[in-house]
Structure 1
Amino acid sequence: MISSLLACSPVSSAQSSFVVPAPFSDEKPASTGRSETLLLAGGCFWGVQGVFQHVRGVSDAVSGYAGGNRDTAHYDKVGSGRTGHAETVQITYDPSQVSYGKLLQIFFSVAHDPTELNRQGPDTGTQYRSAIFPMNEMQRKIAQDYVDQLNQGKTFHHPVVTTIETFKGFYPAENYHQNFLTLHPDHGYIVVNDLPKVEALKRLFPAMYNTEPVLVRLASAK
């Protein structure tokens, strides 16, 4: 256990999850095995990473920081909420197995609550904001159209506050944050907040669920 290195604080109940409508627009199906990348921020990266490590077609999911500069991409600085960074997960995927739109659908359905502004549950600050960092214009348009679609359809009881932000770089988090859900399944925060998200993925997207998570090779992380 890493009780002295908590990125987040436990809450008494987990967020309920449901399948939101799929995006009206998506990337074209791919016939090759080339890899693509997307960056998603949805509160504490432990849970977001843990969910996408179990998604079919995902080959890597790395916890890290995006939105700020390289010199402030450290947990002790990001935690101040003044660096511009958000706790973010960089997801590498095979578009012949899973599309960008499907990954966004999972993000909005089970990985976090997109209606909470600059927070997730008990975790407050801009570093816990809901954000998407598109890697190209196609991703930007699909993401923005999807946020608009969910809001216009009143999918949630409150407006989606997810921001579509300019990609400035991604910086992997410290080693002790990587694979945290897998390595510490009995941790209080994980039990209350994040294991229910993985269970929701399994229940709501059974065709997309991988029993064995893809793990970050720690030698390549800080």
Structure 2
Amino acid sequence: MPSTPARRSRPFRLAASIGLATLVLAGGATLASRLPAQAAEAAFIIPAPTLDAKGGTGTETAILAGGCFWGVQGVFQHVKGVSNAVSGYAGGTADTATYPIVSGGGSDHAEAVQITYDPKQVTYGEILQIYFSVAHDPTQLNRQGPDSGTQYRSAIFPTTPEQAKIAKAYIGQLDGTGVYGEKIVTKIEDGARFFPAEAYHQDFLFQNPTYPYIVINDQPKIDNLKQVFPQQFRAEPALVASAKS
């Protein structure tokens, strides 16, 4: 496994008393970075969507982008009814779907997560409610917390016309309530393909719970999910590694 590249666009700042944090990944790869200055937002309660999908049969997929895919993946791995959540890239072409290219801003991709779920247990509207409230901040344009660039944009990639309709209606509903105090910048991008990210990005939050970026930016999202959506929260995450075994 090649060494994991550092996230180039993150402005890491550090107090003099805190040193360089080095993470040793599975397989011996390392990732070194400094603690980011910004932490995750507090829990944010928003109304449920007035338009939602009816429970179907089998499984369905949703593709969402909201900043670093480590945290978004981690959130949905803890949602009941989700059987798999895969970190990856969406919005660009196959030849640019690699971490060095995407993280450097050299593609049309966004870091995204493909969510496989049982619509009888969790609806698409409920997934969007979690996405808009605890997974990311939909009012930040081309950035999330310490990460900046179009690769960290807020975007929904519908997999069906019904999903596109529900997402558009929900954005309009939330903007109409003024619940955020700012306009939602989330884009709905139709027809995008999803490309899974490299293996070392999968289950990253679960595999590296003490990594500084995770502690500051992503673990609070899991805590907020448990606080705001206790009925949908599952303690044991649905891991990519488990889905493959």
TM superposition score category, shorter chain reference = over 0.9
TM-score by length of 1: 0.93
Q: Is this contact kept in 2: 1:77–1:83, CA < 8 A?
A: yes
**Partner of 1:143 in structure 2?**
167
Unaligned runs of 5+ in 2: 1-22
Q: Deviations over 1:34-77 (max 9, x none)?
A: 00000000000000000000000000000000000001000000
Amino acid at match of 1:155: V
1:18 Cα deviation from its structure 2 partner = 1.6
1:201 Cα deviation from its structure 2 partner = 0.4
> For 1:55-204, what aligned pairs fall within 5 Å after superposition?
55-204=79-228
**Partner of 2:48 in structure 1?**
22
Q: Deviations over 1:63-113 (max 9, x none)?
A: 000000001000000012231000000000000000000000000010000
Amino acid at match of 1:59: S
Q: Deviations over 1:1-42 (max 9, x none)?
A: 259547997234321122211111000133x4x000000000
How many angstroms apart in 2 are the aligned matches of 1:145 and 1:77?
33
How many angstroms apart in 2 are the aligned matches of 1:209 and 1:8?
31
Query: Using a 3 Å threshold, how does the CA distance of structure 1 residues 205 and 51 change in structure 2: closer, same or farther?
Result: same
Unaligned runs of 5+ in 1: none
1:167 Cα deviation from its structure 2 partner = 2.7
SS at match of 2:169: helix
How many angstroms apart in 2 are the aligned matches of 1:171 and 1:56?
24
Amino acid at match of 1:82: G
Query: Using a 3 Å threshold, how does the CA distance of structure 1 residues 196 and 155 change in structure 2: closer, same or farther?
Result: same
The CA RMSD over aligned residues, in Å, is: 1.9
Higher RCO (CA-CA < 8 Å; seq separation 6+)? 1
Does 12-21 or 75-84 show the bigger shift?
Answer: 12-21
TM-score by length of 2: 0.85
2:65 corresponds, among 41, 53, 76, to 41
SS at match of 2:240: coil
SS at match of 2:231: helix
SS at match of 1:95: coil
Amino acid at match of 1:196: P
Does 210-219 or 108-117 show the bigger shift?
Answer: 210-219
SS at match of 1:77: helix
**Partner of 2:10 in structure 1?**
none
How many angstroms apart in 2 are the aligned matches of 1:46 and 1:177?
7
Does 209-218 or 19-28 show the bigger shift?
Answer: 209-218
